[in-house]
Amino acid sequence: MTAELVRADDRAHVFHSWSAQGLINPMPVAGAGGSYFWDYDNTRYLDFSSQLVNVNIGHQHPRLVAAIQEQAAKLCTIQPAFANDKRGEAARLISELAPGPLNKVFFTNGGAEANENAVRLARGHTGRHKVLSMYRSYHGSTSTAITATGDPRRWPNEPTAIGVVHFWGPYPYRSPFYAATPEQETERALAHLRDTIVFEGASTIAAVLIETVVGTNGILVPPPGYLAGVRAICDEFGIVFIADEVMAGFGRCGEWFAVDRWGVTPDLITFAKGVNSGYLPLGGVVISDEIAETFRERPFPGGLTYSGHPLACASAVASIEIFKEEGIIEHARAIGDDVIAPGLAALAARHPSVGEVRGLGVFWAIELVRDRQTREPLVPFNAAGAAAGPMNEVAAACKERGLWPFTHFNRVHVAPPCTVSVQEVEEGLSILDEALAVADRYCPG
């Protein structure tokens, strides 16, 4: 197969996500390995996006590939009403990793379905309908998930589901609460959440759904005490706390689940992406004993043909074993603390276009501005066309130098695989150093 044939089939027959079909020209990818992928001309790219922040274990890990091959030879598929060894083992391993009394797993095909079914579980458990979620959020593109999403991808999908109310989460760099410190941001953000609950009617609210660390919409690490405060408010009003860890979980934040960093136990945790690094479609909801008990003698009103697909579950089992045996969680945490954090701080010191760097593990954002004093973003919110030009130029400068970045609005996200080496991080930061010179040209003086 040649690049020309791949491109011809794609352009003639593939309908792409989130795209005006006639305005895109997808690059044919020939292969991948570790932290790199390459095209048919053997041009290699250092994958600083982990594709869609999901290839946590790196591309083509041989043990994970072998586990899929082994399971395919044994049993490719069986419907979810049967018990299956890999489905049960994957559920047990995930439950053992989850904090507190979360001992059941409902498997889905990905993150959107995980959030969809988490909301269904919360509504069934509480008998209430409303769901609160943040404006700066993305929870998926299915009906309830896209309604819960706060970012502009929701707009063209409206009207969709009903019963979702958005609120402002903490964002110290651009505080919606005019906070002067992270502690003040926590206090005011929690007061705002409480007010929203009171004025919406606590007795009508089934769940608060939040990304533990906001992903695509900013890599927003919660300030001290915020998650514990959300937990306390949910307990006070009998509301289910759903932690969306589709992007933040399985090593991305240097923990099995990001909530572990703050010692907080939600009622439901949604996962996908890093659980098996996207080698096969898989997601799910980890369910507390209390909520699971609600459906002991009452049917859960949901299901999927491929829930707990044996091939996908076999890949999750193998992935978790590899993470444990190769110390990948610890590696992700250390490389974030010791290499990425100081490296990004050095970039910020050199480039006037860098307003802030923030993150943890292998989950970081470089927020680009035109003016550090005013914090004017390099491009406007939800910029498109010519208005998005400066960010497009930064991304192009990265790609020209062999780095594949993840960009969103006025940010470059640094999200390499959890297995990335020190040398690879340094290579990527060196390329970013050159690319940020493009953004610097838009700064005064």
Per-residue pLDDT in tens (0 to 9) along the chain, 445 residues: 899 999 999 999 999 999 999 999 999 999 999 999 999 999 999 999 999 999 999 999 999 999 999 999 999 999 999 999 999 999 999 999 999 999 999 999 999 999 999 999 999 999 999 999 999 999 999 999 999 999 999 999 998 888 999 999 999 999 999 999 999 999 999 999 999 999 999 999 999 999 999 999 999 999 999 999 999 999 999 999 999 999 999 999 999 999 999 999 999 999 999 999 999 999 999 999 999 999 999 999 999 999 999 999 999 999 999 999 999 999 999 999 999 999 999 999 999 999 999 999 999 999 999 999 999 999 999 999 999 999 999 999 999 999 999 999 999 999 999 999 999 999 999 999 999 999 999 998 6
Strands (E) across 141-204 are located at: 164-167
User: Which strand ranges, in their side-by-side order, compose the sheet holding 44-47?
Assistant: 29-33, 36-39, 44-47, 403-404
- Do 120 and 302 meet the contact criterion of CB atoms below 8 Å apart? yes
Reported as a single tens digit per residue, the pLDDT across 135-179 is 999 999 999 999 999 999 999 999 888 899 999 999 999 999 999
SS3 114: helix
Place of tokens 């979360």: 102
The Cα-based distances of 325 to 29, 253, 256 in angstroms read 30, 18, 14
Both structure tokens of 438: 């493009």
* Parallel, antiparallel or unpaired: strands 363-371 and 376-377: antiparallel
* Parallel, antiparallel or unpaired: strands 44-47 and 403-404: parallel
Per-residue pLDDT at 444: 86
DSSP string, 409-436: TTEEEE---TT--HHHHHHHHHHHHHHH
* Whole-structure pTM value: 0.97
Angle at Cα 158 formed by Cα 24 and Cα 213, nearest 5°? 75
Both structure tokens of 128: 């209430």
DSSP string, 301-325: S---TTTT-HHHHHHHHHHHHHHHH
SS3 187: helix
Which helix (H) or strand (E) segment holds residue 364: the answer is strand 363-371
- Do 59 and 36 meet the contact criterion of CB atoms below 8 Å apart? yes
Per-residue pLDDT at 160: 84
Q: Residue 195 contacts by C-beta under 8 Å, 6 or more apart in sequence? A: none
Place of tokens 């943040």: 134
Per-residue pLDDT at 445: 67
Place of tokens 């937990």: 231
Cα 340 to its chain centre, rounded Å, is 19
